[in-house]
Amino acid sequence: MTVSRSDLEQRFRMLADEVLLQRYQSGDLTDLAQSVALQELRARGISPPIKGLVIEQAMPVISAQGADRVTVPVELSWAQAHALTARLNSQAIAATLVDAQLPVAGQVRVMVYQRDLPEAMALAAALHRGDFALDDEFDEGEVSPQR
């Protein structure tokens, strides 16, 4: 039996806040159901805890030029680290991916200048929330190329 997005929207709309939040955090939902549940939570003004975002202590590194660089203190998968680095660089925040060639659990890191750490943390949180994810209705043809 296939469940449509509209079916899920209707079902999730009828759930109490606590029940909807429990289902969202359960890990038992399909990608579509997870997306719809998050959409419904946001519509209700509920910000679910950031799943998988583990805050660590920022580790400073002094470069040869003397500029302080720190590790963005979040635990990231290989793909998340690449996505975060690309997003930061696209917003003119110098970010460097470290230990990306042979990732071992907890070894993939993103480094930024100390002054950019708050913005990098905000982008890491947004990435974990799915703020940059494409929706199911995304049509590549609708996006015009940037020049």
Same domain, 71 and 29: no
Residues 6+ apart with CB under 8 A from 47: 41, 129
Residues 6+ apart with CB under 8 A from 125: 50, 53
CATH of the domain at 115: 3.30.70.1530
Asked if residue 138 is part of any domain, the answer here is no
In the predicted model, what is the mean pLDDT of residues 46-58? Answer: 54
Q: How many domains does the chain have?
A: 2
Asked if residue 137 is part of any domain, the answer here is no
Asked if residue 81 is part of any domain, the answer here is yes
> What pLDDT is stored for residue 12 in this prediction?
92
> What pLDDT is stored for residue 107 in this prediction?
62
Same domain, 93 and 73: yes
In the predicted model, what is the mean pLDDT of residues 28-54? Answer: 75
The CB density around residue 120, as the number of other CB atoms within 10 Å, is 26
In the predicted model, what is the mean pLDDT of residues 7-27? Answer: 86
Residues 118-143 pLDDT 10s: 888 888 888 877 777 766 666 666 55
Residues 63-110 pLDDT 10s: 444 457 888 877 777 778 888 899 998 988 888 887 655 545 556 788
Range of the domain at 32: 5-49
Structure tokens at 47: 């910000």
Using alpha carbons, select from 43, 2, 1 the residue that is nearest to residue 20: 43
Asked if residue 142 is part of any domain, the answer here is no
Asked if residue 106 is part of any domain, the answer here is yes
Same domain, 64 and 125: yes
Same domain, 42 and 85: no
In the predicted model, what is the mean pLDDT of residues 29-44? Answer: 84
